[in-house]
Amino acid sequence: MTLLWKILLGIFLIGRLSQGQDEDLLNENIEQAAVGEGTEGGEEVEEPEGPGADVSQPDHRQPCAMWMGGVPGTPGHSGKPGRDGKDGRDGPRGEKGDKGEKGDPGEKGDTGPAGPRGFPGNPGLKGARGESALSYHSAFSVGLSELVPATNVPIRFNKFFYNDQHHYDDISGKFRCVLPGVYFFTYHLTVYTKDAKVSLFMNDKAIMFTFDQYQETNVDQASGSVILRLEAGDEVWLQVYGDDAFGGVYADNTNDSTFSGFLLYPAIPVSARRR
């Protein structure tokens, strides 16, 4: 450290010495020029007055070039960051960008609350015409031509008044339901020569009974009627109930015993009902 200071001091002294020699040389030139001008004019030149007019005093301010450069100093520490400047003005509006790609569908949201009830709508168009109940037909009316020959079996009526749908079978003596619905059945019997006890059956089950006690020398009448709900395949018939003593159901050319039935209204399937 002491050696460095000695070097710096020597450089400083050498600079000062050079500066003093330059100043002396400059002063001599000025004096010679002043003497020459005074001798040629024969007059003495007065020294200018005013500030800065004293040229006899040396000017110690010299350009930096007259000095020898020193050793560069150590760089200083970095200063603290300055404050943020004010926001600049908004720039001009840019051009419209290209349309972005369609995003993925979002998840289904929760069901919202029910809205207020709307106004009634306009009446709808008139629907197609449905099938009429009258298009469903099932009916029969039959009679006997002779005395009932046997008991506890279906009575076979062999005289036909109406059986267009052939739903009554004269071979078995039974009415077989084809169209499900509600039916009305009735019978009117002539009783002669002995008592008569008749029952109306549905699927091997006696539904109702009619009994008539024969009076000698008289021709009696027995009748009955019933409304039944039938399904397709159900069977209905009449038969004499009991032994031969109750087989007084009779018919001839002037006396009839009849059995009739017809569909009141069908059980129309939902798909076929008129809306």
Q: Is there a contact between 203 and 235 (Cβ–Cβ < 8 Å)?
A: yes
Q: 75 lies in a domain?
A: no
**Residue 9 to residue 219: CA distance in whole angstroms:** 175
Per-residue model confidence (pLDDT) at position 34: 52
Q: Using H for helix, E for strand and C for coil, what is the string for 142-188? A: EECCCCCCCCCCECCCCEEEECCCCCEECCCCEEECCCCEEEEEEEE
Residues with Cβ within 8 Å of 190's Cβ and at least 6 positions away in sequence, in order, are 219, 220, 221, 249, 250, 251, 255, 256, 257
Q: 158 lies in a domain?
A: yes
Per-residue model confidence (pLDDT) at position 130: 65
For 143, the domain range is 139-267
Tell me the CATH number at 187. 2.60.120.40
Q: 5 lies in a domain?
A: no
Q: 28 lies in a domain?
A: no
Angle ∠(216,222,225) on CA atoms, nearest 5: 175
Per-residue model confidence (pLDDT) at position 83: 86
pLDDT tens string 164-212: 999 999 999 999 999 999 999 999 999 998 999 999 999 999 999 999 9
Q: 95 lies in a domain?
A: no
Q: 96 lies in a domain?
A: no
Per-residue model confidence (pLDDT) at position 134: 55
Per-residue model confidence (pLDDT) at position 185: 98
pLDDT tens string 86-115: 888 888 888 888 888 888 888 888 888 988
Per-residue model confidence (pLDDT) at position 20: 57
Per-residue model confidence (pLDDT) at position 197: 93
**Partners of residue 140 on adjacent β-strands:** 261
Instruction: Identify the segments of the chain with pLDDT beneath 70.
Output: 1-2, 15-69, 130-134, 270-275
Q: 239 lies in a domain?
A: yes
Per-residue model confidence (pLDDT) at position 16: 65
Q: What total number of domains does the chain contain?
A: 1
The pTM is what? 0.51
Per-residue model confidence (pLDDT) at position 15: 66
What DSSP assignment string belongs to 208-257?
EEEEE---TT--EEEEEEEEEEE-TT-EEEEEE-SSGGGEEEE--SS---
Q: 249 lies in a domain?
A: yes
DSSP 195: E
Q: Is there a contact between 180 and 266 (Cβ–Cβ < 8 Å)?
A: yes
